[in-house]
Amino acid sequence: VKAKGSLAGASGSDRTLNRIAALIEGWFERNARDLPWRAVDRRLGRRDAYRSLVSEAMLQQTPVGRVLTKYGEFLRRFPTVRLLASAREQAVLAAWSGLGYYRRARHLHRAARAIVREHGGRVPSEAGALRRLPGVGRYTAGAIASIVFGAREPIVDGNVRRVLLRVEGKALKGAEAERWAWGRAGELVGASAKPGVLNEGLMELGGTVCTPARARCGECPLATVCASRGAVGGGRASGAWAAGAKAARRQVYVTSLLVRDVRGRVLVERRPERGLWAGMWQAPSVEREDRPARRSELPRGFSVRRAGPVLRFEQALTHRLVRFEVWMATVVGGRVSPRRWIAREEVGRLGISNAQRRILLMEADDGTAARPGKGVPRGGA
């Protein structure tokens, strides 16, 4: 990559850094997407830190489009940090449902409790105090401290790292890229007049203009100072700038039993407190990494009603491809504890993943909706 002008070719001379910061800030102020978590609270004259904390937690591993479908609903349910802190964990997980990565919801819940317990119900403004909250790392702490409170704190996520590396014409990878990017982000924020605007502008640039697969240099405010302008393959990333090959996903096979009783209730069990979907509810299930469970390996105490699964589907997570198989079953002997029966209406109120929700609410295998008293297959006790 031939450097045309670089962020730090004059290595980070103050003038270069000032200029880059100003270019990003000006661009962001003109082009920021209108997103609900960017609204300024008129009473405070700035954003509400609790709402920002919620949005940061949601946006960590979920695309903006999906967050938009859940953010408002979550805040209607838990409009203040105190209401979130006093909620039951299952209610928080249920409100999170559809966003995946439920560990974030647990952390957010614990963070709310810590804010009430240790900070009198006010989200702290300093990055150091923010980082001591459960689930809040360097990035989230920097984002809230700078974007909400105007602190001179850098942030680096995948988008920021990519933009900074490209602007500087560096093809670093892994930990080296991460270290370098934090250093560079710190220099830039030090030269900025509006640290929060700069940080959010960098993220927005990486999310909309300088994306992993494509660099729209013609629309980029940094085109005049970027070492990689046009080198990202005529707008399409190539070579050192291409998005890294996706790591192969590990396969997991989940075999679940859909068990209903005569009242149309479904049987659920709680997952272990650690690992995938920790502590959430699901239909009685077994998991294997090599293949789906055989009939003889299904959970004990049930009788399956068909020769094989009635539904198969898969769900791709970041690091895993989960293949589900669902069998219809009845209880043998009547004893279900520690599992429990829940009404279909309750499925939406417990922490249940989307995939398991699909299983628990699926149509009866005889083609009728499984509603109490209507076409419900006879189950066990």
Where do contacts with ligand SF4 occur on this chain (CB under 6 A)? Answer: 163, 166-167, 209-210, 215-217, 220, 222-223, 226, 228-229, 232
**Cβ burial, residue 190 (10 Å; 0-12/13-18/19+):** middle
What is the residue whose two structure tokens read 């609900």? Answer: 36
Pick between residue 222 and residue 268 the one whose CB is nearest to ligand SF4.
222
Cα angle 174, 176, 181; round to 5? 100
Pick between residue 59 and residue 210 the one whose CB is nearest to ligand SF4.
210
- Closest to 329 in 3D by CA, of 358, 356, 295: 295
Other CB atoms within a 10 A radius of the CB of residue 15 amount to 10
**Alpha helices (H) in the chain, listed in sequence order:** 14-31, 49-59, 64-77, 81-86, 89-96, 103-119, 127-131, 138-143, 158-168, 174-190, 195-208, 354-360
Tell me the closest approach of the beta carbon of residue 235 to ligand SF4, in angstroms. 8
**Cβ burial, residue 275 (10 Å; 0-12/13-18/19+):** exposed
Query: Which of 25, 56, 153, 168 does the annotation list as catalytic?
Result: 56
Q: From the centroid of its chain, how far is CA 87?
A: 21
Tell me the closest approach of the beta carbon of residue 238 to ligand SF4, in angstroms. 12
**56 tagged catalytic:** yes
Tell me the closest approach of the beta carbon of residue 255 to ligand SF4, in angstroms. 46
Pick between residue 130 and residue 215 the one whose CB is nearest to ligand SF4.
215
Cα–Cα distance measured from residue 215 to residue 228, given in angstroms and rounded to the nearest whole number: 9
Pick between residue 228 and residue 285 the one whose CB is nearest to ligand SF4.
228
Tell me the closest approach of the beta carbon of residue 24 to ligand SF4, in angstroms. 10
Pick between residue 4 and residue 77 the one whose CB is nearest to ligand SF4.
4
Tell me the closest approach of the beta carbon of residue 22 to ligand SF4, in angstroms. 15
Catalytic (active-site) positions = 56
